[in-house]
């Protein structure tokens, strides 16, 4: 982290250097607590990513915000989810994303898309 900041500072103009130094100072407390942050992995489909709502309204983000307000130091939630995914899609998505635990909190909200083909089939038979 320090090396990256040093390289950024070297390549910036003097005005940018001030901003980089200020940003570094503002986040120094966060950097000290980086090891203490709780990690949250949210797995799922459209319900997990909050299809049609802003990112701040996604339930994993709301959970992390709620825990922050209660005194827990949270990392941003890692979300592996896509609208329309079935459980098989999620399994492949997890493998492709290769998440790195350990996680302090994991949520799983998926399954409706597994049932959808069956429901359509039943309705077509009627």
Return per-residue pLDDT of the chain as tens, 126 residues.
322 322 222 233 333 322 333 233 445 565 555 568 999 999 999 989 988 999 999 999 999 999 999 999 999 999 999 999 999 999 999 999 999 999 999 999 998 888 876 666 667 777
Dist CA 99 CA 83 (whole Å): 19
Dist CA 47 CA 111 (whole Å): 10
Please report, to the nearest 10 degrees, the dihedral formed by the alpha carbons of residues 32, 38, 103, 23 taken in order.
-50
Show me where the domains of the chain are located. 1-32, 36-125
- Summarised one tens digit per residue, pLDDT across range 78-97 is 999 999 999 999 999 999 99
Q: How far is CA 75 from CA 15, 33, 49, 104, in A?
A: 30, 10, 17, 10
CATH of the domain spanning 36-125: 3.40.50.1110
**Global pTM exceeds 0.75:** no
Dist CA 26 CA 24 (whole Å): 5
């Amino acid at each position: 982290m320090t090396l990256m900041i040093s390289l950024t500072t070297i390549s910036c103009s003097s005005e940018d250097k001030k901003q980089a130094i200020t940003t570094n100072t503002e986040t120094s407390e966060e950097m000290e607590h980086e090891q203490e942050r709780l990690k949250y992995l949210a797995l799922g489909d459209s319900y997990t990513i909050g299809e049609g709502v802003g990112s701040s309204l996604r339930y994993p983000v709301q959970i992390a915000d709620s825990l922050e307000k209660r005194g827990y130091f949270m990392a941003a939630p890692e979300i592996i989810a896509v609208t329309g995914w079935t459980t098989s899609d999620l399994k492949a998505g997890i493998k492709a994303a290769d998440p790195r635990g350990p996680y302090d909190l994991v949520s799983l909200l998926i399954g409706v898309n597994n049932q959808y083909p069956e429901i359509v089939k039943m309705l077509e038979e009627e």
